[in-house]
Copies of this chain bind each other. A is one copy, B any other.
């Protein structure tokens, strides 16, 4: 690992422009939806650019806002848990107001006219279909009366998250699937196949994970090889770390995985995970790690197979509070998944790179014509499935680009929670402009500018804007490049702000919009 250059640490935590909540409103840089008295938890945001709407899933309600201005022509569908469910939830010892309600956790495009919506249903997850019509002028916004079981789709506990994605009528969700919040898994439900999930009761597969993102990334031009990548943090595996620790992970699955035939029946046979490192190299060889993955954002490149992955991390310590952003390349990620499997001979052994013979086809490879030999995971040789079952983790971690974070923030009273990235064309090339949400209701606008080369970036804090009336955590962030707007969710409401505030600077736009 290169230790040549200093870690990119923002010594100066003072932004070039700082706007309070009041200033944001006064300068018309903020439109807010202040929330309803009987709702909260505006955490599930979905952009419908075609129809010009922002859909928001919250406590007991689904909202539809006008993307141009969220304070105009808002629509709302109340969706509560039945009194019976709420009573059951309360009898089970849960808090009636904060837990025994219907918190919307999943809101995904299903087809041209419908969205798929799931919520906690007072610790009894349910899903349904939200009809929005085919065209904006249809003005349709109604919930189907038909309700489906939401287990494996939405968590029971509103405090927990689901990372979910719907492709080809199938729902991929990393979530908690039981009342106690102990059975975490990655599920595929809906669609024509039998539901499929990760192995249960095996802490090597998943160890108390918190899912923050899921994305489909093609492996090559053959869709048979398409992979689903999940991003989460979890407890380090037994023997992986001295004492308790959180590790950030990337997990992979084949989209066409149908589970095993004799073993791993209706379980993923292509699941693998690798550690995502985000650390500042120490001159003494002791690195400072940021392990609590909070959010990921993928930014596309010319090559759809190789998006750049931004990860937002915080520290695990309650003494030293800090945040960092690391970038990862798909090349490094694929290299980790093609590297040695983590292996140990038993509980008293260390994890070592597996040195023995890896069965063919290599576990983690998708059934396809590309690598030949098998059409479906059900045809996999037993020894491949057995190996896959006991070797879900890779030995090598994925290191960030340049082996260090692009942003490190310490000695501030906030932590990063969310991030989106906007590509902005400036005179001297394309810049990634990062919008980072914090746990104090603020948004930071940061650009990474090359110091001497693209391997040595300096982050510049351009703006710090307060976007909620109270210091609440920003829990959702959606970027519309078409509208040039940012949409933000929190516990107390929804906010909207333009990406750029050229008029505030009062100078020529070219100068201000990229500092």
**A5 within 8 Å of B by Cβ?**
no
CB pair B317–A282 under 8 Å, yes or no, is yes
CB pair A319–B7 under 8 Å, yes or no, is yes
Give the docked Cα–Cα distance between A169 and B490 (Å).
Answer: 72
CB pair A286–B320 under 8 Å, yes or no, is no
Binds B, one of A36-44, A160-168, A346-354: A346-354
Give the docked Cα–Cα distance between A241 and B411 (Å).
Answer: 27
**A243 within 8 Å of B by Cβ?**
yes
Q: How many copies does the complex hold?
A: 2
Give every chain B residue within 8 A of A246 (Cβ-Cβ).
284, 286
Contacts A350-B348, A350-B349, A350-B350 given; does A410 touch B319 at CB 8 Å: yes
Give the docked Cα–Cα distance between A287 and B410 (Å).
Answer: 18
* Closest B residue to A315 using CB positions: B320
CB pair A288–B318 under 8 Å, yes or no, is yes
**A242 within 8 Å of B by Cβ?**
yes
**A457 within 8 Å of B by Cβ?**
no
Interface on chain A toward B: helix, strand, loop, or mixed SS? loop
Give every chain B residue within 8 A of A296 (Cβ-Cβ).
none
CB pair B286–A245 under 8 Å, yes or no, is yes
CB pair A320–B317 under 8 Å, yes or no, is yes
Give the docked Cα–Cα distance between A274 and B9 (Å).
Answer: 36
Give every chain B residue within 8 A of A348 (Cβ-Cβ).
344-345, 349-350, 352
CB pair A320–B243 under 8 Å, yes or no, is no
Near B by CB (< 8 A), chain A positions 232-265 give 236, 239-246
Give the docked Cα–Cα distance between A88 and B70 (Å).
Answer: 79
Contacts A348-B350, A350-B348 given; does A316 touch B286 at CB 8 Å: yes
Out of B242, B245, B283, B288, name the residue touching A240 (CB < 8 Å). Answer: B242
18 A-B contact pairs sorted by A residue (CB < 8 Å)? A7-B318, A7-B319, A239-B350, A241-B242, A244-B284, A244-B285, A246-B286, A282-B316, A286-B316, A288-B317, A315-B320, A319-B410, A320-B320, A320-B410, A344-B348, A345-B348, A348-B349, A348-B352
What residues of chain A have their CB less than 8 Å away from a CB belonging to chain B? Answer: 7, 9, 236, 239-246, 280, 282-288, 315-320, 322, 344-345, 348-350, 352, 408, 410-411
The 7 closest A-B pairs by CB, nearest first: A320-B320, A288-B319, A288-B317, A244-B285, A286-B316, A282-B318, A241-B242
